[in-house]
Amino acid sequence: MDQIDALEKAIEHERNSMEDYKKKAELAEDPETRLLFAQLAREEEVHYRKLVERLKALRAM
């Protein structure tokens, strides 16, 4: 596995995690749990965006 493959897998993982947390936030019954999952989804989105930028930079080399 090269760097591009590793980044693509990491991006997929972050995207899946982000979507999972969003769904859990929507389904959460209490506000605290909803906020927790929403925050986790936002954190995963930050990770996702950073990895996408790294992948773009690597491909530009």
pLDDT (tens digit, 9 = 90+) per residue, 9-49?
Answer: 999 999 999 999 999 999 999 999 999 999 999 999 999 99
Q: Give the closest residue to 41 by CA, choosing from 54, 53, 60, 25.
A: 25
Which pLDDT value is given to residue 24? 98
| pLDDT at 35 (0 to 100) | 98
Tell me how many domains the chain contains.
1
In degrees and rounded to multiples of 5, residue 56 shows phi and psi of -60, -45
Q: Which residues contact 53 (CB under 8 A, 6 or more apart)?
A: none
Q: CA of 17: how far to CAs of 6, 23, 59, 60, in Å? A: 16, 10, 24, 27
- Domain holding 24, by residue range, is 3-60
pLDDT of residue 28: 98
Q: Around Cβ 37, how many Cβ atoms within 10 Å? A: 19
Name the pTM for this structure: 0.90
